[in-house]
Amino acid sequence: MTLTITEAICAAALDGVGLSRGEVEHLLGLDDFEDAEVLFAAAREQRRRYFGDAVFLYGFVYYSTYCRRSCAFCFYRAGNTLSPRYRKEAGEVVEICLSLAESGVNLLDLTLGEDPLLFDAGDFSSLIDVAGLVRRATSHPIMVSPGVLPRAVLAELRCLGVDFYALYQETHSRELFARLRLGQDFDERVRARQDAHELGLLVEDGILCGVGDRPPDRARSLLAIHDAGEQQVRAMTLVPQRQTPLARARLCSNWNERLVIAVMRLLMPDRLIPASLDVEGIEGLASRLNAGAN
Ligand code: SF4
């Protein structure tokens, strides 16, 4: 029996053969339902080998929605007058974390924009204080997702017992990055993740689909993430937001996101790959799990 190209690539990946850039691009460019099912089945098999069918749950606390940046895709970008702005008190953050922990989540994520109160002043003591309070209140793994942090602050967070640092590049194509993360330094973000690795933090990177990215862009991102050795890898799809430069972008289906999840699973079988539910809510969980997320 002759295997299709997709079947041959997936079979080799399941046998432990690394994927070439051309093979990654081929899988990321699939537009045929049957071919995609072959890929998704291989990704599920790979996930089963490393994680069984366990699903890890996250709890997010968005504790400051102020941001000095103007990312083209983000509702919280500086100057968006429609965005609600708040900074939660430390006590409220701890309370939310405790109730999330009780609800059964496996990881607590402290998320904030690049709040000028911290970033412009270069004073990260409030973030460090909150992380310390949460650390003392619960034994759950803690992630911080605050934007680009100085190495010294990452070191302090690690000393406190923070486990994960999430910093999404969104794309590893420099030209696309410049159009998405306006006025930001590509290499500074890469360096911050490298610093976090060196300090013993677990690191998450993520990419955004539906922003003009093509299979070669997505392949470049996945191979860069693979080479960096991130412990958690994520794909999301753009939801066009009002009062942002991408407000009129077309809302894409989750097709490319699911292909990315599946290829991530073949490339990085033992890594955590979240099913992001921002676009479809809980209804979007099954299709992402079926693509290899966990
Ligand atoms: Fe949004 Fe984060 Fe960019 Fe701020 S840095 S605009 S919160 S994506």
Going by CA atoms, what residue is nearest to atom 6 of ligand 1?
77
Distance of CA 71 from the midpoint of ligand 1 (Å) = 6
10 Å Cβ neighbour count for 180? 22
Distance of CA 203 from the midpoint of ligand 1 (Å) = 18
**Confidence (pLDDT) at 277:** 87
Tell me if residue 165 falls in helix, strand or coil.
strand
Q: Is the CB of 146 under 6 A from ligand 1?
A: no
Q: Which two tokens stand for residue 87?
A: 């900074």
**Confidence (pLDDT) at 232:** 98
Q: Is the CB of 246 under 6 A from ligand 1?
A: no
Going by CA atoms, what residue is nearest to atom 7 of ligand 1?
113
**Confidence (pLDDT) at 285:** 94
Distance of CA 228 from the midpoint of ligand 1 (Å) = 22
**Tens digits of per-residue pLDDT, 20-53?**
999 999 999 999 999 999 999 999 999 999 999 8
Q: Is the CB of 130 under 6 A from ligand 1?
A: no
Distance of CA 69 from the midpoint of ligand 1 (Å) = 6
Q: Is the CB of 260 under 6 A from ligand 1?
A: no
Distance of CA 185 from the midpoint of ligand 1 (Å) = 13
Alpha-helix runs per DSSP H in the chain: 5-14, 21-28, 33-51, 90-103, 116-119, 125-137, 151-160, 174-180, 186-198, 215-228, 255-267, 285-289
Q: Is the CB of 238 under 6 A from ligand 1?
A: no
- How many whole angstroms separate alpha carbon 39 and alpha carbon 98? 39
pLDDT at 1 over 90: no
**Tens digits of per-residue pLDDT, 77-93?**
999 999 999 999 999 99
Q: Is the CB of 100 under 6 A from ligand 1?
A: no
Mean pLDDT for the stretch of residues 238-255: 95
